Every structure is written in structure tokens, then in C-alpha cells.
Structure 1
Amino acid sequence: MNDLDVVEAVQADHAVLANLLEFYVYDFSELLNLEVGESGRFDYPGLSLYWSESDRHAFLIRKDGKLAGLALVQKVEEVWDIAEFFVLRAYRRKGVAKHAAKEVWSRFPGEWRVRVRDRNLPALRFWELAIAEFAGREVQPIATQVEGEDWSFFSFESKG
């Protein structure tokens, strides 16, 4: 998809990422019973860490030059992890998310993990397909519980 750009965000992009994260958290609010703060925002604590810690990377996803989403990546115990991944609704089911995810995985060779809440069925299906296509094989998730909630953890390798 040559009209798709995944650009590493710089600190000057902080406000843009924070605004996109508001849409992301809003989408999750019906699944997680999240409450908006008194400021009228959900806020995303820790966003500034993506410019102060070397094992964190923030990306803006653009389609045809327009903002389409974001990806936040972190390295935890020598494993790359998709911390947050969001594509605006207008760009969903058009290949944007899958191509952006593959681009991110390709930039960081090594072991990867993608965590998905089981009750988020559309995301679970998306990650199953995207990871299988990237890895060239089906990747079985590991079922686990985090704070009493069912999650699926996908582990795979990127050769870069």
C-alpha cells in the first residue's frame, strides 16, 4: 500500500497523538466502562514516556497524507509489544491497519507480543489474521487472565 505512511512521531507530535488517543480510549469506553474526566477528556497517562525512554516508540499512521491512526510500541523484557494501536473508523476494513502493523513489526526485528482482550472480538479477529499473514503461518494465542479478565497473547518473530 504505497499511499500509506507510518512515521515515527517526534515530541512536537505529542498533542496530535494525545488527540488520537482520545478517540481510541472513547472506542474502548463501552467495553471497559471508562469514565471521562472532569476536563471532558479521558487522557492517556504516560504518553510523554515515548520521548524519554529509548525502548518506546510512537508512530502516526497516514493514508493519502491524512491522519489515519497511531501505534505505540514498547520493549518489555526483551520482547517488542504493541502497547496501543488505533485506526480511525473511516480507514478500517480497507487494509490500512494490517499494512501499518506489518510496517511497525518490520522495523523492529526480534520477538513480538500482541495482547488483546478476548471480549474485543473485532480486534481479536484482526490480530489473528494480521499476525498470521505477517508470520506466514497461523499463530495460536496464549489464553491468560489479567486482573480477572480474559486475554489472548500472540507471540511471533519479526526478521525485520
Structure 2
Amino acid sequence: MNIYLEEVTINEEHILLNLFEYYDYEFSPYLNFEVNQDGLFRKAPVHKYLSDEKYNAYFIKSEETLLGFVIVTMTNNELNKSAFEMEQFFVLKKYSGKGVGKQAAMIIFDRHRGDWKVTQVERNYPAQAFWRSVIKTYTSNSYSETYDEKRRSIQEFNNA
């Protein structure tokens, strides 16, 4: 499947918000999310992702089919050079295991050059395995992995 990333516009905020319902559903076992009285998960801060210049939000697409989304946080490292963090990354379950996530990750890494940090929540072993595999391939095994005080797995690398 040939995929591409398309920047999310402020006029598409409602689409990103809708996708966050599926994202939160997928994450509910790891982050103990519950639905509210209306049967919805939390109201994700999508307006912040689209209005704050430190974020870049993208839809993952194939032809015109919506497959997921990526949100990248941009900062500066201690040397005042570009640094990026994978803020949110989601592929609809229907496309899981078909290489969509890997292609999207490679595209986003190529698009943003500098220091990278990718974090997965504790016990999300499928995400940890996915990111280790993708980053190992992307960097030719030139990355570091640590765990923080919350036992989150963190991979870091530089692709400048």
C-alpha cells in the first residue's frame, strides 16, 4: 500500500477529533481511559495541536482513504538544534500489520531531521515492539533505549 502524509488544517479539526475516539479506545487498556456519560472518551486537545506552532499534525492516507494520524512535537535540544518527539501516532486497526505504520514513521522521520525521542507507555508491548523494529531499521541499529521513572520505554536517535 502506497501511503503519504497530509498536514491537518484547522478546518479539519473535527476529523482529527473524531479519530481520537478510536485512538483513545485503543489506548484505554493501557491508560485506564473511561467513556463519559455520553459514551465518549476525553476531549483530546486537537485545537492545541493545530494552533500551536510547536506541533505538526498529519493525516496518514492512501489515495484518499484516511488510515490514521501522526502528531510531532518540535523543540530545541541543549545545543539549540532541532529536536522532535512523537507526540501521538495512530493507525486504524484495519490497517495494522500491513506496513502502514512503518511507512508513515519513515516518512515522518525523513521529513523532520534532528534529535528524535519516541516514548511508549508502560505495558504497551505491541507499541514497544513496533517502535524498536522501525527505529532499528531506520537507524541501522544506531539508537539508544532507556526507561523513565514511569517505566515508559524511550528510544532516541539522531537523523540530522
TM-score after normalising by structure 2? 0.90
Q: Please state how far the C-alpha of 1:20 moved relative to its aligned partner.
A: 0.8
Matched, 1:82 2:83: no
Match of 1:13 in 2: 12
Please list the CA deviations of residues 34-81 of structure 1 after superposition, one character each: whole Å capped at 9, or x if unmatched: 111223211344211122211101000012421100001112444211
Distance in 2 (CA, whole Å) between partners of 1:23 and 1:112 is 26
Distance in 2 (CA, whole Å) between partners of 1:19 and 1:35 is 16
Match of 1:119 in 2: 123
CA RMSD of the aligned region, Å? 1.5
> Structure 1 residues 121 and 138 mapped into 2: Cα distance closer, same or farther (>3 Å)?
farther
Matched, 1:37 2:36: yes
Q: Percent identity?
A: 30
Note the residue ranges of structure 1 that are not aligned, 5 or more in a row: none
Q: Please state how far the C-alpha of 1:12 moved relative to its aligned partner.
A: 1.1
Match among 132, 135, 141 for residue 139 of structure 2: 135
SS at match of 1:105: helix
SS at match of 1:74: strand
Q: Is the 8 A contact 1:72 1:84 kept in 2?
A: yes
Match of 2:155 in 1: 154
Distance in 2 (CA, whole Å) between partners of 1:39 and 1:74 is 31
Mean alpha-carbon deviation: is it higher for 126-135 or for 42-51?
A: 42-51
Note the residue ranges of structure 2 that are not aligned, 5 or more in a row: 78-82
Q: Kindly tell me the number of residue pairs found equivalent between the two proteins.
A: 155
SS at match of 1:145: coil
Match of 1:145 in 2: 149
TM-score after normalising by structure 1? 0.90
